Amino acid sequence: MGADVAPLVGFTLFWGLIGGALPFAVPKSPNRGIIQVALIMTAACCWLFWLCAYMAQMNPLIGPRLDRNHLLIIAREWGNQIKD
């Protein structure tokens, strides 16, 4: 797999915390139920969205098609000079 472990674990843990642990910490108020559901759903939706974006780019089957100007700019700004 072309996936880096660190972001995968990191984000899963992050959203897992929000969706799994935080609901227990909601103070007792008449709105407790709503807040818990909202937290869980937010965590689920956001994590899923991020995961799909990540996995889609993991093993790219094609690359971007860029015109010459773009390539030159990329080469200059992102640190790999054009060889001759």
Residues 9 to 48 in contact with other proteins, rule: CB under 8 A:
29-34, 37-38, 41-42, 45-46, 48
Rounded CA separation 45/79 (Å) = 36
Element (H, E) at 58: helix 32-58
Minimum separation from the CB atom of position 37 to other proteins (A): 6
Rounded CA separation 83/37 (Å) = 56
* DSSP state for residue 81 in the 8-state scheme: P
Determine if 1 is a binding residue for other proteins (CB under 8 A).
yes
Determine if 52 is a binding residue for other proteins (CB under 8 A).
yes
Residue type, 17: L
Minimum separation from the CB atom of position 61 to other proteins (A): 5
In the numeric block, the tokens 């054009």 are attached to: 82
Binding site for other proteins (CB under 8 A): 1-4, 7, 29-34, 37-38, 41-42, 45-46, 48-50, 52-68, 70-72, 74-75, 78, 80, 82-84
